Amino acid sequence: MTIKAINVRNQFKGTIKEIVLGDVLSEIDVQTASGIVTSVITTRSVRELELGVGSEVIAFVKSTEVSIAKL
């Protein structure tokens, strides 16, 4: 699936500024042009996406969650 195939209205391109790793869940702070967007995702996803401080990502915002995709 490509990023273009995802139907989410609010998408914010940004750079990861901070990652707080937990045993199961991790907190990702993304600096965007609109400000910092914070997402809580599984630590497994952080590792599988090879996310790190400085990674360029897109934050997909829905009313109940914020998702992350690596660029």
CA separation for the pair 68, 48 (Å, rounded):
12
CATH entry, 10-61, from 2.40.50.100, 3.40.449.10, 1.10.340.30, 3.10.20.440? 2.40.50.100
Per-residue pLDDT tens over the stretch 20-71:
999 999 999 999 998 999 999 999 999 999 999 999 999 887 777 777 788 8
Structural domain boundaries of the chain?
A: 10-61
Look at residue 60 in the predicted model and tell me its pLDDT: 84
| CB 1 within 8 Å of CB 51 | no
Per-residue pLDDT tens over the stretch 36-45:
999 999 999 9
Assessment of whether the complete model's pTM goes beyond 0.95: no
Of 6, 48, 7, 40, which Cα lies nearest the Cα of 22?
40
